[in-house]
Amino acid sequence: MADRRHRIVLGIGNLDRGDDAAGPAVARLLRGALPRDVEVAEHGGEAAALLGRLDGVAEAYLVDACVSGAPAGTVQRFDAASTPLPQGLFGLSTHAFGLAEAVELGRALGQLPPRCIVYAIEAGAFEVGEALSPGVEAAVSDVARRIHDELAREGHREEKSRA
Amino acid sequence: MARKVIKVDYLARVEGEGGLKVVVRDGKVQSAELSIFEPPRFFEAFLRGRAFTEASDITARICGICPVAYQMSAVHAIEDAIGVTVGGQLRELRRLLYCGEWIESHTLHVYMLHAPDFLGYAGAVDMARDHGDAVKRGLELKKIGNEIVTTLGGREIHPINVRVGGFYRAPRRREFEALAERLKWARDAALETVRWAATFDFPDCERDYTFVSLRHPREYPFNEGHIVSSRGLDIPVSKYDEHFEESHVERSNALHSRFRSGGAYLVGPIARYSLNFDRLSPIAQQAAKEAGLGPTCNNPYRSVVVRAVEVLYAVDEALRIIEHYREPEHSSEPIAARAGVGYAATEAPRGMLYHRYRLNPDGTIADARIIPPTSQNQASIEEDLATFVGGFLDLPDDDLRHRCEQTVRNYDPCISCATHFLRLEVDRG
């Protein structure tokens, strides 16, 4: 059984598909920069496996590329534990069965972490083998910083409540 | 003139794009077209000039759901070209890896992509609200498939442990101990899956398909066997190109496969099952019978039950392999580059996957040919739509569109398994 206070950051996407690498890029920036109890991982985004990673987790931060029509690099933050994710935003995973489905499936099954934050980074291009576009690269740093701060705040809050 | 067009325009995906158009005139299906784009053609060009040792890792990238199938077809074809045979425990480990992929892929399709069609939900999320226990069982079962691939392949997706000649590292016996316990649970869960799928309502639709799959003297086929058909074809894999051909169809960027002698054929679970029922393990045969399946299955909507039977077989086979596993002395056979042509077909979850490689004397790949199961099934999918949709025309538009999508989903095609996401238009003309 996973530790019920387990905290996790998952960067979702495909490193070889241009801006789809935004999620894994955030995970790479945060690796080694967070408290040791926070697990940082990259994930391909397949819903069933993704949901498995959330099992027993208390606090999850999920980062994925999205397509909403906004300028590339636009960052959206969702409190997924309290509000359903907008449909059709994350349609890029294998078999179109990805992050949004994992989160909603988790909600339907009562398995969603009590705190579940989703950062969506607007992608510009998904060309095979291309690097992140400049706007997305800046957004990656921004999201990494925000998750770092959120984790620090939440950790502090928990310590106070236990004191 | 009463004209109805059921149309699916476009689906943008990593694996490819798919669309669907059925034209009905005066109560009869006039045409049924599936148009798809698949990336594998690209890969054949990527492979040229690469070392023969790289083919399995490059082709694994063609699909995130069935990378093992690409790896297996690649290594077997290359081994055929360089004259190496992998036997004993290494061969068993390859079967085990394939079991993991079948469990993962089929379970995902049965529970998340196909079951909602039969139970009347827009998708797995809606279904999970009412059928939570079933969905949890499906997720856990799928996870065990992932665990096999991770244990043996080094990671869940695009495993990295497969090589020409065997594996980079053979697992220790103790690494399988926890997995064996999990697989015992999985066998019960898989049996329950067969029983569950058997309760669905199936349209009464059958066709006289020409089934094509591998057939092996003793085993339910994964990696090895002759190519056989339900019309008496029985050829070694090296004769594939003599009997099958691909042709370009304007509406589709994926080539259509047919017999050179003419006619569509079908690969995948119901073909494999119908040609190899006698090779299933006793528990899988028994479960199939109890689920109302005969030794052959010509109703494509019942493919969901056949997939469940194949999951049960894969779990049972995985347990057998693990129980008898002895650590091999070497993790791979010695290999050396040489010029040659090699052929292999293996059974991907969606059907037979054919690879052919021609190697230069230094072991670089001169050319490669890859024929994925979804290409082979395109003609059958279109014929299913043309044949069956006529019987559903009294359905309201939404239900009719849904039935068309379901008909495509029977194949679990790699283009768009989640046609739940397809944008559909009904034009009543």
DSSP character string of B165-234: TEESSPPPGGGGHHHHHHHHHHHHHHHHHHHHHHTS----------BEEEE-SSS--SS--EEEETTS-E
pLDDT value, residue B415: 55
CB B210 within 8 A of CB B230: yes
Query: Is B15 part of the contact surface with chain A (CB cutoff 8 Å)?
Result: yes
Residue corresponding to tokens 């077909």: B345
pLDDT value, residue B416: 33
Closest Cα in chain A to B146: A49
- Summarize pLDDT for A25-76 with one digit per residue, the tens: 999 999 999 998 999 999 988 888 889 899 889 999 999 998 888 899 999 9
Q: Which amino acid is at A151?
A: L
Q: Is the pLDDT of residue A137 over 90?
A: yes
Is residue B213 classed as helix, strand or coil in its secondary structure? strand
Residue B43: CA count within 13 A, CB half-sphere: 24
CA atoms of A55 and A45, how far apart (whole Å): 15
DSSP state of B18: E
Query: Please, which pLDDT band fits residue A93 given cuts at 50, 70 and 90?
Result: very low
User: Residue B112 and residue A94: Cβ atoms within 8 Å?
Assistant: no
Nearest to B108 among A48, A92, A104 (CB): A48
DSSP state of A132: P
pLDDT value, residue B37: 57
| B156 contacts in chain A (CB < 8 Å) | 44, 49
Task: Quote the tokens at residue B416.
Answer: 């768009």
* Partners of residue B6 on adjacent β-strands: B22, B426
Task: Quote the tokens at residue B295.
Answer: 């030794």
Query: Is B416 part of the contact surface with chain A (CB cutoff 8 Å)?
Result: yes
Residues comprising chain B, all counted: 429
Is residue B402 classed as helix, strand or coil in its secondary structure? helix
* Of the candidates B301, B320, B350, the residue with the CA atom closest to the CA atom of residue B106: B350
Query: Is B13 part of the contact surface with chain A (CB cutoff 8 Å)?
Result: yes
Between β-strands A115-122 and B3-8, what pairing exists: parallel, antiparallel or unpaired? unpaired
Nearest to B143 among A14, A52, A101 (CB): A52
User: Residue A46 and residue B139: Cβ atoms within 8 Å?
Assistant: no
Query: Is B122 part of the contact surface with chain A (CB cutoff 8 Å)?
Result: no
Closest Cα in chain B to A20: B14
Q: Which domains are present in chain A?
A: 7-162 (3.40.50.1450)
User: Residue A48 and residue B142: Cβ atoms within 8 Å?
Assistant: yes
Collect all residues with Cβ–Cβ distance below 8 Å to A76 and sequence separation of at least 6.
Answer: A66, A68, A70, A119, A120, A122
Domain ranges of chain B: 40-420
* Of the candidates B98, B147, B157, B39, the residue with the CA atom closest to the CA atom of residue B349: B98
Is residue B136 classed as helix, strand or coil in its secondary structure? helix
Is the pLDDT higher at A3 or at B147? B147
User: Residue A47 and residue B112: Cβ atoms within 8 Å?
Assistant: yes
Q: What is the mean pLDDT of residues A110-126?
A: 93
Shortest Cα–Cα distance, B236 to chain A (Å): 33
Residue B100: CA count within 13 A, CB half-sphere: 30
CB B23 within 8 A of CB B30: yes
The helix-helix angle for A99-108 and B132-153 (nearest 10°) equals: 130
CA atoms of B420 and B113, how far apart (whole Å): 8
CB B350 within 8 A of CB B35: no
Query: Is B112 part of the contact surface with chain A (CB cutoff 8 Å)?
Result: yes
* Of the candidates B345, B204, B221, B196, the residue with the CA atom closest to the CA atom of residue B271: B221
CB B209 within 8 A of CB B269: no
* Of the candidates A128, A53, A48, A62, the residue with the CA atom closest to the CA atom of residue A94: A48
pLDDT value, residue A90: 65
DSSP state of B318: H
Nearest to A108 among B132, B142, B418 (CB): B132
> What's the pTM?
0.89
Q: Is CATH 2.40.10.170 the right assignment for the domain spanning B40-420?
A: no
Closest Cα in chain A to B107: A48
Query: Is A93 part of the contact surface with chain B (CB cutoff 8 Å)?
Result: yes
User: Residue B156 and residue A97: Cβ atoms within 8 Å?
Assistant: no
For residue B102, what are the CA distances in angstroms to B96, B152, B203, B321, B353? 10, 14, 26, 15, 14
Query: Is A163 part of the contact surface with chain B (CB cutoff 8 Å)?
Result: no
Question: Which of B139, B147, B409 to mutate: most A Cβ within 10 Å?
Answer: B139
Shortest Cα–Cα distance, A95 to chain B (Å): 5
What residue ranges of chain B have pLDDT lower than 50? Answer: 1, 8-16, 38-40, 416-429
Between β-strands B3-8 and A38-43, what pairing exists: parallel, antiparallel or unpaired? unpaired
Quickly list H helices, A19-133. 22-30, 47-54, 99-108
pLDDT value, residue B355: 95
Shortest Cα–Cα distance, B92 to chain A (Å): 26
User: Residue B113 and residue A95: Cβ atoms within 8 Å?
Assistant: yes
φ, ψ for residue B341, nearest 5 deg: -120, 135
For residue A162, what are the CA distances in angstroms to A2, A5, B341? 20, 13, 68
φ, ψ for residue B265, nearest 5 deg: -140, 170
CB B141 within 8 A of CB B107: yes
* Of the candidates B336, B301, B327, B384, the residue with the CA atom closest to the CA atom of residue B33: B384
CB B263 within 8 A of CB B380: no
Query: Is A60 part of the contact surface with chain B (CB cutoff 8 Å)?
Result: no
* Of the candidates B372, B39, B347, the residue with the CA atom closest to the CA atom of residue B219: B347
Complex-level ipTM beyond the 0.85 threshold: no
pLDDT value, residue A30: 96
